[in-house]
Structure 1
Amino acid sequence: MSERDTSPPTPALPAQTPARLAPGDRVVMIGGGPAGLTAAYELLKRRPGTRVTVLEALGLVGGISRTESLEGYRFDIGGHRFFTKVPEVEAMWHEVLGAEFIRVKRLSRIFYRGKFYDYPLKPLNALRNIGLYETVRILLSLLKWKVRPYRQEDTFTQWVTNRFGGRLYMHFFHSYTQKVWGTPPQQIRADWAAQRIQNLTLWKAIMVSIKGGNDTRSLIETFNYPRLGPGQMWEMTAAAIEDRGGTVALNTQVVTVRREGMRVTGLVTRPTPLQDGGQPGEQPEDQPGPAPAGVEIAGESFINSMDLRGLVRAMDPPAPPEVRAAAEKLRYRDFLIVTLVLADPDPFPDNWIYVHTRVKVGRIQNFRAWSADMVPDPGTSSIGMEYFCQEGDDLWTMSDEGLRDLAARELEELGLGRAEAVVKAKVIRQPKAYPVYDTDYQEALGVVRGWLDGFENLQTVGRNGLHRYNNQDHSMLSALYAARNLMGECHDLWEVNVERSYHEEFEVKEPPRSAKPAKTTSCEQSGSKASA
């Protein structure tokens, strides 16, 4: 165990491209979710013989994209459509899954004020539900905000109101956003809306519902899906990694990241304390550096996908005080799902339903509607009741029996199933499901990023590794680039914009075939990585 570093804070160094792999080098991935597994897969595909190790704290691979099970019933931790505009990601999905990739027709609705609204929006359905008078008010509100919009779009409220009008924002955005994040939308940065809603407008939604055909992610009508759930993709990826000589270690929690200056020298791991659901614990705040003795893992290069707060806490010697203080300002929203097996088949046809009413459940999944093979008994159904919460609050600490009763009661209250039909249930608690975009996050993230950019052999990728609320295809893209950086390419992972995944004019730019990488890349010479 190293002593605490009492030297002056290490200044942030210019961003560098990681040193290129040499034969026999060992690369260690922290995290076995989409990002960590994608990086490992890409390295072994392009550089066979590389010694690759993936360390996963849970007993299953896939992170928040894993598939849990209960007596043959398989269920997703949240909904995961497999849709992307990134050819590299699409190619990997098909390469790994092959015939296990199925095509699914989307059906999703919003439950609001006792009525179901089709989503994507269908004008006749919306008009019938909300009434002609309120429809006129929505359109007038939209016109008003188009003529006199907010001049600055700093918050979620301002961003959405400028595009949809105040009246529609009040109906369909305000209360649901507060339920998801547990904080007023006025305190959420506009960045989140810009990433998640992107080029969707009310007019575009109406035209799509009339004419059909669309490339806006929020409105796609069919999508690909693994036959046995999204975790099947990552189970098969992990198997491919091991077939090619890599190692995927489950129930292995990284508790210490050893460093000498700005170079990681190794990791300390210990078996994950298997609590209910197998959730890993977190390094205590009063122990930011050394952890109890564990297994030492050495390596030449490291790719991280654990949350940045946890990464900074694990540093030994500790990160500079200002970096530790900034990391502690990064916040996360937690999540739990109560899966109910019902004796009734197909209580409703939707893949998922957004619940805007005052019940606690935020979204409801119907797993047979994703894939019939996820439900072993055709006379039953498997329903996922999703709750947004904070670790330690009343929902998080409620007993599994209490959560089962709550979920069954709310399912019946919404008219979507009978509480007495519940025959089995399983509760999964997922900490740090969503990075929070509050008023402090940008400045705090800038400080953490500035320090991490100085490491010569550590890259950080994925949703929590970049503190960016992205989809799994974007997490995979950042990981593909991290692996390619180790092979001589030059990508700034922080600049892998979510827009690249969904932009209508997006195209892949391959480097010229005749180009031979020099010993020192141009981005190393300029002191910054090339943009992705």
Structure 2
Amino acid sequence: MDTQPSQHPVVVIGGGPAGLTAAYELQNLTSADGGAFVPKVFEASDMVGGIARTETSNGYRFDIGGHRFFTKVPEVEAMWHEVMGDDFITVPRLSRIYYRGKFYSYPLRLFNALENIGPYEAVRIMLSYAKWQVRPYKAEDTFEEWVINRFGGRLYMHFFRSYTEKVWGIPPDQIRADWAAQRIKNLSLAKAVWNAISGANDTASLIEEFQYPRLGPGQMWERTRDLVCERGGTVAMNHAVTRVIWSDNHVTGIETSTTDGAGLTEIQPVGQAGVINSMALRELIHAFDPPPPAEVVAAADRLKYRDFLIVTLVLNRADPFPDNWIYIHAQEVKVGRIQNFRAWSSDMLPDEDTASIGMEYFCQEGDALWDMSDDALRDLASRELEQLGLASGDEVIDAAIIRQPKAYPVYDTEYREALAVVQDWLQSLENFQSVGRNGLHRYNNQDHSMLSAIYAARNLAGESHDVWNVNVERSYHEEFEVTKSDKKGTPQKAA
């Protein structure tokens, strides 16, 4: 007599890359009793993909920040190709830095850099680099110290300080070195110069080409959602998780409330398999009922986020520049990065005689920039595009504005201590795991957010993975330590 395999529902909070990856992976696994995992995904918004979604306006598709698909993680690579198939295209990378009225190739091109910066300043940069190689900071606690030890004070002043402060809204000496170690791994001035001369490049952040869904990264997550549902899972849109009910170190239920205006509230039971979470930790801790210990709540409140908005301008002529994106280091404008969406995929635009340009602004929810009207933001973006010499403001024929709260977890001076308190308490829950960028409060790339979710799913199938240590392995950090045995030095001011 045939019997149906047992089913183990798993609640997944969030329909971004981490949440949907967890759901997808769960359906590839078998439980210890030979049963099947059934993911039930709850997403607060009306779109999947989180910050990796693709928005649409009048036929133009655009991303909330650029998302290259490049990884050295085989599980992630396999999933991308399984889901996207022939709609995964290869895109050449072209990006530059705009600084002091000139464009610098990025990755570095030696003669371009020397021509722009001039021989006198180039000598000063090399002397500063030599100085900090001889007498580096012993400790690398801050972003500023980490960068100066690898690039020297002069290059830090030119190409790191102003842009970093624009992105994060705080001085670089108030940002932990952890962020630099994750985002600029394996790179130093010596290696950058060698790459520029030799053409070699093994630094992940400076790859020369990458893969990309034909219709933007949101296509990846829209298709993943559809596959999860076709295989028996559910993805409930416009369902915010408002309460996480727990007792005796187990989550027993979650409360969801609809966000589409109906205001319907429902309690979802949680079984032994439990919950995989990807919502932001600060809001998560406040959702627990009863509340966690006071010190955990206080620690969660110390976790901070950087918000983001994008003004996508449609121009009445084809692309004003060929780059995928340009980093804007100039302080005379507010824009931080500019994307050209056709350079990612021509299928992102419905009209080949127009251009779609994404003007990206880093801000805080509630500040003057965030609270500007859409018309004022369109005017600002059009004016700055012209001020940078990229296009005339008169060529703008349409615009779409998206505001994205909690885009980036902030690595300020107190985040690590606060995160440790929250992490310790969450790990005391026996059927609860947290994954992804906001679920771990870690500025991971998309692939590492996905890997944390894959590991969480496999933990339910009997494996044992520490999702909190994805992309922060001990051996990786040791690669960048400056120790007494190999270098001597005392802290100095940048020069």
- CA distance in structure 1 between the aligned counterparts of 2:409 and 2:283, rounded to whole angstroms: 13
* 1:140-185 deviation digits (Å, cap 9, x = unpaired): 0000000000111111100000000000000000000000000000
For 2:444, the aligned partner's letter is N
* 1:446-487 deviation digits (Å, cap 9, x = unpaired): 111111010011000000100100101000000000000000
Corresponding residue of 2:180: 193
Corresponding residue of 1:112: 99
The answer for unaligned runs of 5 or more in structure 1 is 1-21, 275-291, 506-532
Shift of 1:293: 7.4
Match of 2:278 among 296, 305, 316: 305
* 1:369-389 deviation digits (Å, cap 9, x = unpaired): 000000110010101000000
Tell me whether 44-53 or 462-471 shows the greater mean CA deviation.
Answer: 44-53
Corresponding residue of 2:414: 440
Match of 1:145 among 113, 132, 145: 132
Shift of 1:210: 2.1
Are the counterparts in 2 of residues 266 and 298 from structure 1 also a CA contact under 8 Å?
yes
SS in 2 for 1:394: coil
Corresponding residue of 2:428: 454
Are the counterparts in 2 of residues 84 and 502 from structure 1 also a CA contact under 8 Å?
no
SS in 1 for 2:69: coil
Shift of 1:498: 4.5
SS in 1 for 2:7: coil
Match of 1:410 among 370, 384, 388: 384
Corresponding residue of 1:375: 349
- What are the residue-to-residue correspondences of 1:335-350 with 2, within 5 Å? 335-350=308-323
Identity within the alignment, %: 68
- CA distance in structure 2 between the aligned counterparts of 1:499 and 1:450, rounded to whole angstroms: 18
Corresponding residue of 1:278: none
Shift of 1:500: 9.7
- What are the residue-to-residue correspondences of 1:480-495 with 2, within 5 Å? 480-495=454-469
* In the alignment, structure 1 residue 36 sits paired with structure 2 residue 10: no
- CA distance in structure 2 between the aligned counterparts of 1:153 and 1:347, rounded to whole angstroms: 41
Match of 2:9 among 23, 26, 44: 26
Are the counterparts in 2 of residues 470 and 498 from structure 1 also a CA contact under 8 Å?
no
* In the alignment, structure 1 residue 314 sits paired with structure 2 residue 297: no
Shift of 1:501: 13
* 1:249-284 deviation digits (Å, cap 9, x = unpaired): 11111111111131111111111267xxxxxxxxxx
* In the alignment, structure 1 residue 324 sits paired with structure 2 residue 307: no
Shift of 1:243: 0.7
Shift of 1:46: 2.2
Corresponding residue of 1:398: 372
For 1:323, the aligned partner's letter is V
When residues 214 and 501 of structure 1 are mapped into structure 2, their CA distance, relative to the original with a 3 A threshold, is farther
Are the counterparts in 1 of residues 444 and 471 from structure 2 also a CA contact under 8 Å?
no
Tell me whether 193-202 or 135-144 shows the greater mean CA deviation.
Answer: 193-202
For 1:480, the aligned partner's letter is I
For 2:202, the aligned partner's letter is D
SS in 2 for 1:85: coil
Corresponding residue of 2:75: 88
* In the alignment, structure 1 residue 174 sits paired with structure 2 residue 170: no
- What are the residue-to-residue correspondences of 1:415-434 with 2, within 5 Å? 415-434=389-408
Shift of 1:117: 0.3
For 1:59, the aligned partner's letter is D
Number of aligned residue pairs: give it: 466
SS in 2 for 1:491: coil
- CA distance in structure 1 between the aligned counterparts of 2:370 and 2:390, rounded to whole angstroms: 24
Are the counterparts in 1 of residues 43 and 235 from structure 2 also a CA contact under 8 Å?
yes
Corresponding residue of 1:466: 440
- CA distance in structure 1 between the aligned counterparts of 2:224 and 2:434, rounded to whole angstroms: 20
- CA distance in structure 1 between the aligned counterparts of 2:214 and 2:135, rounded to whole angstroms: 48
- CA distance in structure 2 between the aligned counterparts of 1:173 and 1:45, rounded to whole angstroms: 43
- CA distance in structure 2 between the aligned counterparts of 1:415 and 1:313, rounded to whole angstroms: 47
Are the counterparts in 2 of residues 473 and 501 from structure 1 also a CA contact under 8 Å?
no
Q: What TM-score results when the alignment is normalised by the length of structure 1? A: 0.86
Are the counterparts in 2 of residues 336 and 427 from structure 1 also a CA contact under 8 Å?
yes
Corresponding residue of 2:39: 52
- CA distance in structure 1 between the aligned counterparts of 2:242 and 2:297, rounded to whole angstroms: 16
The answer for unaligned runs of 5 or more in structure 2 is 480-495
Q: What TM-score results when the alignment is normalised by the length of structure 2? A: 0.92
SS in 2 for 1:165: helix
- CA distance in structure 2 between the aligned counterparts of 1:124 and 1:89, rounded to whole angstroms: 37
- CA distance in structure 2 between the aligned counterparts of 1:429 and 1:498, rounded to whole angstroms: 30
Tell me whether 39-48 or 194-203 shows the greater mean CA deviation.
Answer: 39-48
Are the counterparts in 1 of residues 54 and 64 from structure 2 also a CA contact under 8 Å?
yes
Are the counterparts in 1 of residues 182 and 471 from structure 2 also a CA contact under 8 Å?
no
Match of 1:121 among 103, 108, 121: 108
Shift of 1:23: 2.3
Shift of 1:219: 1.4
Shift of 1:213: 3.3
- CA distance in structure 1 between the aligned counterparts of 2:20 and 2:472, rounded to whole angstroms: 20
SS in 2 for 1:428: strand
Match of 1:74 among 61, 75, 78: 61
Shift of 1:502: 9.3
Shift of 1:218: 1.8
When residues 92 and 413 of structure 1 are mapped into structure 2, their CA distance, relative to the original with a 3 A threshold, is same
Are the counterparts in 2 of residues 102 and 227 from structure 1 also a CA contact under 8 Å?
yes
- CA distance in structure 2 between the aligned counterparts of 1:475 and 1:125, rounded to whole angstroms: 35
* 1:312-369 deviation digits (Å, cap 9, x = unpaired): 0000001110100000000000000011111110110000000011200000000000
